[in-house]
Amino acid sequence: MHGRADRFGLFLRTDPITLLKTTDPVPTHRWEILLLLLIGILTLPALLVNLGDHTFIDDEGIRSLVAFEMMESGDYIHTTMNGEAYYKKPPLYNWFLVASFSLTGQINEWSARLPTVVFLLAFLLLIFLSVRRATEDSTTAFLVAAMTLTSGRILFWDSFLGLIDIAFSLSIYGLFIWIYAHYGKRRWFAYFIGAWFITALAFLLKGLPAVVFLGLSILVHLGVQREWKKLFHPGQMIGALLFLFIVGGYYWLRLDGTDPETVFGTLFTESAQRTPTHHGTGKVLLHILTFPFEMFYHFLPWSLLLLLAFPLRSFLTRMDHPFYRFSLVMIAANIPIYWVSPDVFPRYLLMFIPLFALIGYRLFATAPDSLRRIVQIFFLCVIILVALSSWIPLILPQTRNMDQIGFMTLVLVSLTGIAALAVLRHRNLLFLALVLQLLTLRLAFDWMVIPDRIANDFGTLVRADAKRIGKHYQDKPLVYLDGLSGSPTTWFYLNTARGAITPVAKEPLAPGVAFITPQHTQLPPGTLIRDTLHIRHSDDRFVLICEMPPIQE
């Protein structure tokens, strides 16, 4: 029995401390296998159920609208939005969206968000493989990946949006791992050339932040290692040339007679607008003060482990492995630029989650017994509370009348109950039990919260309006008047329903041409108002669908 337990006991060797002695006739490894099996079964449904049901936010609309216009125009180099040149982001993520649209045969929310799930799974796999290789500890590797997946911001927000950030975070975390792995082997050509290659791909995803990550990471890493002279290694020059070949090659095709100042100026402004130089001193100081607390909140529950850094006098001695110290260096090198930059969204920091998770788990494993027990008791109370309250959807006004609410609640009660029972019997399964409950809560979110959100979200009306107008004008000319503002999400739904790019046009328009204009526009006498279109995130709550008046005889 002991040999079999050792074979399956992934978590038995790293956290032997228990709060209470138990005499469970079922061996620990069987509970462990059950929890791991349920986590594996639950992950994909939690990420995919109702993925495409809720409407886009505007950033999703931008990415998907640009990709749609690529497909309509057949031009995958000169990116456009509403038929006009779009310079704010390079095209690589739009190409991924085009691939998803083409492979699924659909241009909608589901196919736009599917790449996010694929990149997230690749991110988790890279985390597991890299941590296991660096630490030679499968337990730590699995938990760091699981903690990343179930970090609040990822699980309940970014994992179901069709945005660049998870793909970009995957590339930047890959940059960190590449630097660590090849520095340890003293492979300097690979160190620099590979780092520049990864940065080129990251640049084509999001632009200048990729170069900032590369510069700060290498500069601080080599500085800490007192390897300053390696900055002038020949591999650095070869890598930089490779970066210029890839990125410069794209922009050489992209420019094609366009003013370079317009292209690169827009790219720079897009990256610089969130930095301190574009905001007042008061706003910067307020952000500096609130940033740690805001990020702590967004990455709960695992951010609680960072409180175990106290007492600080022993913190560095507890980071007794090169990979832990390297993770600290990458955080210290790169996070300050976000710390001083207002208008930073939590999704910009996703590449740091596995680094913080690794450090948090190490702090937990090496914390004084009294502090560790506090965290264990808190997590245990949360697990029990979740299990005891998981029947509540049966009586909530928003959920009690939903179809199949009985079945959904039974699944919720069963999974959260299994997690609670497992950890009550074996305290060393605490983290696994919490991961299972968090995934279960995400499934409940998919089943119960998303439908309620769809029913009450203004965006649902926006989507229905845009699709209705788009279908009406499928075979008819329609333009936006120059200067029209509004939601890119609205224009995505409108254009995909039309099956065509709706261009921006300047006045005067030909008689009888239908156009979209804000409701407060001064219309020429005799203009026919054909319809209204609700939009989101604009000064106007709706715009007018008009036709130019006929020429007066």
pLDDT value, residue 3: 42
Contacts for 370 with CB less than 8 Å, ≥ 6 apart: none
- Give, as one character, the DSSP assignment of residue 481: E
- Give, as one character, the DSSP assignment of residue 68: H
Distances (CA, A) of 400 to 391, 408, 410, 457: 10, 11, 13, 20
pLDDT value, residue 272: 67
Distances (CA, A) of 240 to 168, 199, 266, 330: 20, 10, 23, 21
Per residue of the chain (553 residues), give pLDDT as tens.
Answer: 344 434 444 544 444 333 334 445 556 688 999 999 999 999 999 999 999 999 999 899 999 999 999 999 999 999 999 988 999 999 999 999 999 999 999 999 999 999 999 999 999 999 999 999 999 999 999 999 999 999 999 999 999 999 999 999 999 999 999 999 999 999 999 999 999 999 999 999 999 999 999 999 999 999 999 999 999 999 999 999 999 999 999 999 998 877 788 888 888 777 666 666 566 688 888 889 999 999 999 999 999 999 999 878 888 889 989 999 999 999 999 999 999 888 788 999 999 999 999 999 999 999 988 889 999 999 999 999 999 999 999 999 888 888 999 999 999 999 999 999 999 998 889 999 999 999 999 999 999 999 988 988 888 988 999 999 999 999 888 998 866 666 889 999 999 999 999 988 877 788 878 888 887 778 878 888 888 888 876 555 678 888 877 765 5
Residue 113 near residue 161 (C-beta atoms within 8 A): yes
Helix (H) or strand (E) holding 278: none
Helix (H) or strand (E) holding 479: strand 478-481
Half-sphere exposure at residue 76, Cβ-oriented, CA atoms within 13 angstroms:
9
pLDDT value, residue 116: 98
The angle that helices 188-206 and 165-184 make with each other, rounded to 10 degrees, is: 170
First CA to last CA distance, the chain: 99
Alpha carbons 334 and 315: distance in angstroms, whole number: 20
Residue 481 near residue 517 (C-beta atoms within 8 A): yes
Half-sphere exposure at residue 459, Cβ-oriented, CA atoms within 13 angstroms:
22
Alpha carbons 344 and 246: distance in angstroms, whole number: 28
Best CA proximity match to 469, nearest among 545, 358, 363: 545
Backbone phi, psi, residue 458, to 5°: -60, -30
Residue 155 near residue 438 (C-beta atoms within 8 A): yes
pLDDT value, residue 277: 59
For 392, the 3-state DSSP assignment is helix
Alpha carbons 60 and 160: distance in angstroms, whole number: 11
The angle that helices 92-104 and 109-135 make with each other, rounded to 10 degrees, is: 120
Residue 552 near residue 525 (C-beta atoms within 8 A): no
Backbone phi, psi, residue 137, to 5°: -140, 105
Pairing of strands 478-481, 504-505: parallel
Look-up of token digits 């850094």: 309
Handedness of CA 239, 240, 242, 243 (dihedral sign): positive
pLDDT value, residue 114: 98
pLDDT value, residue 287: 85
DSSP class per residue in 14-44: T----SS----SS-HHHHHHHHHHHHHHHHH
For 85, the 3-state DSSP assignment is strand
Alpha carbons 265 and 185: distance in angstroms, whole number: 40
Contacts for 246 with CB less than 8 Å, ≥ 6 apart: 197, 200, 201, 204
The type of residue at 373 is R
Please give the radius of gyration of the chain, using alpha carbons only, rounded to the nearest integer. 26
pLDDT value, residue 14: 40
pLDDT value, residue 273: 65
Residue 175 near residue 217 (C-beta atoms within 8 A): yes
Contacts for 64 with CB less than 8 Å, ≥ 6 apart: 56, 97, 107, 112, 162, 492
Half-sphere exposure at residue 261, Cβ-oriented, CA atoms within 13 angstroms:
0
Residue 119 near residue 47 (C-beta atoms within 8 A): no
Alpha carbons 209 and 128: distance in angstroms, whole number: 25
Contacts for 336 with CB less than 8 Å, ≥ 6 apart: none
Which pair of structure tokens corresponds to residue 533? 């279109």
